[in-house]
């Protein structure tokens, strides 16, 4: 590994990761960029334990950067479409960690087409998707872009 490079790995989500995920979602700047309000702790934990980890069809992974929990990537089905989303702690933004993690995730999670709907003004998220092969498609609304990986 070259100096300055970050080692990025994916692993199964562990229950102890959820507290870190909660802290990252509670960051007001992250919520603003994602246009997704942070939830109360118990609501957040219940959602993760029942809807995400409790559903074997959902593909959830913890992202590790140099061994530290950097965030998560999740894919889920909604109305016949598969979606991917991710959330990272602010200190991991802008370092290429999201791109490396999503590339690894896409190699492991082969469902296509796969959709994502970043906020148009969240240029970091938009660029991340484009670097991973997603292309913008019709159907964006309310400030959200619609991207697809075929």
| Domain range enclosing 73 | 8-111
Task: State the pTM of this model.
Answer: 0.93
Question: Does residue 88 belong to any structural domain of this protein?
Answer: yes
pLDDT at residue number 139: 73
Q: Which helix (H) or strand (E) is 140 found in, with range?
A: none
Q: Which residues pair with 114 in a beta bridge?
A: 82, 149
Buried b (16+ CB within 10 A) or exposed e, 102-124: bebbbeebeeeebbbbbbeebee
Question: Does residue 96 belong to any structural domain of this protein?
Answer: yes
List the CATH number of the domain containing 68: 3.40.630.30
Which regions of the chain are under pLDDT 70?
1-4, 140
Question: Does residue 81 belong to any structural domain of this protein?
Answer: yes
**Residue 25, helix vs strand vs coil:** helix
pLDDT at residue number 95: 95
| Rounded Cα–Cα distance for residues 104 and 99 (Å) | 9
pLDDT at residue number 143: 84
| Rounded Cα–Cα distance for residues 62 and 9 (Å) | 8
Question: Does residue 123 belong to any structural domain of this protein?
Answer: no
Q: How many domains does the chain have?
A: 1
pLDDT at residue number 4: 60
Tell whether the torsion through CA atoms of 17, 18, 19 and 22 is positive or negative.
positive
Question: Does residue 134 belong to any structural domain of this protein?
Answer: no
Question: Does residue 16 belong to any structural domain of this protein?
Answer: yes
């Amino acid at each position: 590994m070259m100096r300055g490079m970050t080692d990025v790995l994916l692993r199964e989500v562990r229950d102890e990761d959820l507290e870190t995920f909660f802290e990252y979602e509670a960051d007001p700047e992250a919520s603003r960029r994602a246009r997704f309000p942070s939830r109360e702790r118990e609501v957040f934990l219940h959602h993760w334990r029942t809807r995400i980890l409790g559903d074997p069809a959902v593909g959830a992974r913890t992202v590790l950067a140099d061994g530290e929990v950097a965030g998560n990537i999740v894919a889920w089905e909604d109305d016949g479409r598969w979606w991917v989303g991710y959330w990272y702690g602010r200190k991991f933004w802008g370092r290429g960690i999201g791109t490396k993690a999503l590339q690894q995730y896409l190699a492991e999670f082969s469902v296509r087409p796969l959709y994502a709907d970043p906020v148009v003004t969240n240029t970091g998220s938009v660029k991340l998707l484009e670097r991973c092969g997603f292309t913008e498609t019709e159907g964006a609304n309310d400030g959200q872009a619609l991207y697809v990986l075929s």
